[in-house]
Amino acid sequence: MAQQDPAALEELYNRYAQIAYNLIVRIVRDRAVADEVLQETFWQVWQKAADFSGRGAPAAWLYRIARNKSLDQLRRQKARPQPPETASQEDEDLVWGRLTEGGIEPEQTTERRWEQQDLLRALAEIPSEQRLCLELAYFEGMSQSQIATYANIPLGTVKTRLRIGLEKLQRILRAAGYQVTDIC
């Protein structure tokens, strides 16, 4: 990338674009805007690749750029990230994938959709710092150390936010009528 090799940009994009896009969507809450922010992110990565210090993972550097670009976009719109009132069909598919694949019956699909909506509503009630850590860990598959690097916070803070966030999530879901076996 530092040598302006288009193949390197293509490889980076193929590896990390979807995760970066998912993070951007969670911040800006608009897929059309997220497409633009993703393009701006990779453009900046392309332009600034030679400035990358080599400290930390390149993916974390890219995610930080994506996050900053997303927040810049919100500032331009004078908006703040807000949890959705109700999850859209696209959001549910983004988080959970297609439920009807693999021979799942319509009744099971409907039941899972309700459970997913309950989970997304419960996540919306959790403070944003804890929710971000939970989403990065469980929806994006990041390790605790990757989250710490991405969010630029100590590893211990990530662990605490995950633990407290999971406890709050469990309390909210229990209050919604779920049993411990449904949650764990």
176: DSSP letter: T
Count CB atoms within 10 A of the CB of residue 82: 9
pLDDT tens, residue order, the chain (184 aa) = 778 888 988 988 998 888 889 888 888 888 899 999 999 999 999 998 888 877 777 788 888 899 889 888 888 877 444 444 444 555 555 444 444 445 555 555 566 666 777 777 888 888 888 988 988 888 777 889 988 988 889 999 999 999 999 999 888 888 877 775 655 5
Q: Where are the domains of the chain?
A: 6-77, 105-183
Residues 6+ apart with CB under 8 A from 151: 132, 133, 136, 158
CATH class given for the domain over 105-183: mainly alpha
Nearest to 84 by CA among 109, 129, 119: 119
Q: Which fold does the domain 6-77 belong to in CATH? A: Rna Polymerase Sigma Factor; Chain: A (1.10.1740)
With 0.85 as the threshold, say if the pTM is over it.
no
Location of structure tokens 């944003």: 128
Inter-residue contact 90 to 31 (CB < 8 Å): yes
Nearest to 134 by CA among 172, 182, 78, 174: 172
Inter-residue contact 141 to 97 (CB < 8 Å): no
